[in-house]
Amino acid sequence: MSINGGANVDLSAAIWRKAADGAQNDSVEVALLADGHVGLRNGKDPEGPVLVFTPGEWAAFTAGVQDGEFDRPA
């Protein structure tokens, strides 16, 4: 897989972890990759596409989650 101007990220040794949802249903899966990259995929379609985040992108995303940036309005 290629990201950021052609930097290659090898997904063959990725260890995917399911996000805990309480019901143990298929959900989002996350893998820590080489050079600090993070892979994100649909647990219902593990052979499908993978989003690959750089360390900075992942930090910004997780900070937004913690700050409630993606919460649905009440």
Domain-located, residue 74: no
Tokens coding 41: 């995929």
Domain-located, residue 73: no
Domain-located, residue 71: no
Task: Name the strand (E) or helix (H) holding 2.
Answer: strand 2-3
Domain-located, residue 47: yes
Show the domain range for 24.
2-66
pLDDT of 3 > 90? The answer is no
**Res 25: pLDDT:** 63
**Res 20: pLDDT:** 67
pTM assigned to the model? 0.75
Domain-located, residue 29: yes
Domain-located, residue 55: yes
pLDDT tens-place string over residues 20-65: 665 656 689 999 998 889 999 998 898 889 999 989 999 999 999 9
pLDDT of 2 > 50? The answer is no
- The number of distinct structural domains making up the chain is 1
